């Protein structure tokens, strides 16, 4: 069955989903946010995103933000393609105005820390805020190891869709599944969204090891995998503890580990991690990467605040999260990126 899919937010991931959606024979409408005017103008002229090397499939329709209500008429579902910096904009300008009967699938990855140290997903945040306005809506989401440019390239990609209603996410899967885009389904919204958000904080530290090799051994030293693997192991160990706190299911935990892998080796987080490892200060690294959306830093800070708060309340021991503490110290306190390796070791001998 062919459907109408409206994507609001023409950043890289939202726009990348236009490929499987359109190639599956659906009508696809891509809407830019107020920050995407240049992108939509270019798409209308060339049928190609400014940051993709491959043109969009023929037949996609493009809309500026003022036209979004026209773009959602008759839509079977809406894909929210904003970054974590646009969470409140999407809430106030789209979700509060969108017909509550139109399902929403979010690509936005992140968590929000509450006063008591609780971490909630963006779907949970949106649903809570909408209820305050008398609007009941269940929001679905995408999680998993997927970079936008490789999805556009048609690299084999496995993700998961999460949502409370099985029929809704099954409909979304049917709409978007292609020969290269493969989708699992789960009701574990909190677990999946936590897993794919937490990996951002940890990918930052794993990427630091790449820059540290350059700092200590020179630019011609090549890649050294012992340090990357050691950091990856510690990242997984801490992520698993945090996901148990979040109540995540095993499948969500595994997807989070896969997402950690692709983020270390192909994401924007890799770039800043390497710069910090090479010895750049946080300010220097941010200046070098000016214009690059770095959601990983938002997640790292929020998760750290949550865990510090839980530690204050006696609910966790910070010694169990030395990598997260290190990431926070680098970002907030100007600490050198050199990882505290000995703190990662354990002694279970008797």
Report the predicted TM-score, pTM, of the whole model to 2 decimal places. Answer: 0.93
Shared domain check, 76 and 152: yes
Q: What domain range includes position 340?
A: 196-344
Give the per-residue pLDDT at 188: 96
Q: What mean pLDDT do residues 224-245 have?
A: 95
pLDDT tens readout for residues 144-169: 999 999 999 999 999 999 999 999 99
Shared domain check, 35 and 165: yes
Q: Is 111 inside any structural domain?
A: yes
Kindly report the CATH number assigned to the domain that includes residue 216.
Answer: 1.10.1040.10
Shared domain check, 33 and 96: yes
Q: What mean pLDDT do residues 118-143 have?
A: 96
Q: Is 349 inside any structural domain?
A: no
Domain limit, last residue, from 187, 220, 252: 187
Shared domain check, 108 and 232: no
Shared domain check, 300 and 253: yes
The Cα 298–Cα 111 span in angstroms is 9
Residue 225 CB neighbour total at 10 angstroms: 11
Q: How confident is the model at residue 94 (pLDDT cuts 50, 70, 90)?
A: very high
Greater model confidence, 265 or 186: 186
Q: How confident is the model at residue 290 (pLDDT cuts 50, 70, 90)?
A: confident
Query: What 3-state class would DSSP assign to 51?
Result: coil
The answer to whether the CB of 272 falls within 8 A of the CB of 294 is yes
Q: How many CA atoms lie within 13 A of 85 on its CB side?
A: 10
pLDDT tens readout for residues 301-338: 999 999 999 999 999 999 999 999 999 999 999 999 99
Q: Is 218 inside any structural domain?
A: yes
Domain limit, last residue, from 137, 157, 187: 187
Shared domain check, 182 and 210: no
Residue 83: both structure tokens together:
């970054």
Shared domain check, 273 and 232: yes
Q: Is 119 inside any structural domain?
A: yes
Beta-strand pair 119-121/111-113: antiparallel
Domain limit, last residue, from 187, 204, 220: 187
Residue 279 CB neighbour total at 10 angstroms: 16
The answer to whether the CB of 194 falls within 8 A of the CB of 252 is yes
pLDDT at 112 over 90: yes
Q: How confident is the model at residue 265 (pLDDT cuts 50, 70, 90)?
A: confident
Shared domain check, 201 and 154: no
Shared domain check, 321 and 204: yes
Beta-strand pair 27-31/181-186: unpaired
Shared domain check, 44 and 75: yes
CA 244 vs CA 185, 240, 247, 250, 252: distances in Å: 20, 6, 5, 9, 11
pLDDT tens readout for residues 167-210: 999 999 999 999 999 999 999 999 999 999 999 889 999 999 99
Q: How confident is the model at residue 222 (pLDDT cuts 50, 70, 90)?
A: confident
Q: Is 236 inside any structural domain?
A: yes
The Cα 294–Cα 292 span in angstroms is 6
The Cα 215–Cα 278 span in angstroms is 5
Shared domain check, 164 and 64: yes
pLDDT at 291 over 80: no
Kindly report the CATH number assigned to the domain that includes residue 113.
Answer: 3.40.50.720
Q: Is 350 inside any structural domain?
A: no
Give the per-residue pLDDT at 42: 97
Give the per-residue pLDDT at 350: 80
* Nearest partner of 19 among 50, 55, 51, judged by Cα: 55
Give me the helices (H) in the chain, please.
Answer: 12-16, 18-23, 37-46, 68-71, 87-90, 122-132, 148-152, 166-176, 189-217, 225-246, 250-266, 268-277, 282-288, 295-312, 322-333
Total structural domains in the chain? 2
> Any bridge partners for residue 28, and if so which?
5
pLDDT at 223 over 90: no
Q: Is 74 inside any structural domain?
A: yes
CA 341 vs CA 26, 202, 209: distances in Å: 50, 14, 11
Q: Is 78 inside any structural domain?
A: yes
Q: Which residue has the tokens 């999260």?
A: 321
Shared domain check, 111 and 54: yes
The Cα 250–Cα 227 span in angstroms is 27
């Amino acid at each position: 069955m062919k459907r109408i899919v409206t994507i609001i937010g023409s950043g890289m991931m939202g726009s990348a989903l236009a490929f499987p959606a359109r190639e599956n024979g659906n009508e696809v409408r891509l809407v830019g946010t107020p920050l995407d005017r240049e992108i939509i103008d270019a798409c209308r002229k060339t049928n190609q995103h400014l940051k993709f090397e491959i043109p969009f499939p023929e037949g996609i329709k493009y809309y500026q933000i003022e036209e979004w209500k026209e773009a959602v008429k008759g839509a079977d579902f809406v894909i929210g393609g904003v970054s974590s910096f646009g969470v409140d904009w999407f809430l106030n300008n789209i979700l509060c105005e969108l017909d509550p009967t139109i399902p929403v699938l979010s690509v936005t990855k992140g968590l929000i820390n509450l006063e008591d140290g609780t971490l909630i997903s963006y779907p949970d945040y949106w649903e809570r805020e909408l209820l305050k306005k008398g609007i009941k809506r269940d929001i679905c989401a995408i999680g998993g190891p997927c970079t936008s440019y490789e999805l556009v390239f048609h690299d084999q990609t496995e993700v998961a869709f999460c949502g409370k209603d099985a029929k809704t996410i099954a409909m979304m899967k049917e709409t978007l599944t292609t020969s290269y885009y493969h989708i699992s389904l789960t009701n574990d919204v909190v677990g999946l969204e936590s897993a794919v958000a937490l990996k951002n904080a940890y990918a930052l530290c794993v990427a630091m090891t790449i820059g540290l090799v350059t700092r200590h051994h020179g630019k011609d030293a090549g890649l050294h995998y012992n340090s990357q693997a050691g950091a990856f192991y510690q990242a997984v160990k801490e992520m698993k503890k945090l996901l148990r706190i979040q109540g995540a299911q095993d499948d969500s935990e595994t997807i989070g580990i896969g997402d950690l892998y692709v983020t270390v080796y192909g994401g924007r987080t890799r770039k800043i991690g390497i710069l910090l490892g090479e010895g750049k200060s946080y300010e220097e690294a941010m200046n070098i990467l000016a214009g690059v959306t770095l959601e990983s830093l938002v997640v790292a800070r929020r998760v750290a605040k949550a865990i510090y708060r839980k530690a204050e309340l006696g609910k966790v021991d910070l010694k169990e999260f030395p990598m997260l503490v290190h990431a926070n110290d680098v970002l907030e306190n100007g600490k050198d990126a050199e990882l505290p390796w000995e703190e990662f070791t354990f002694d279970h001998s008797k």
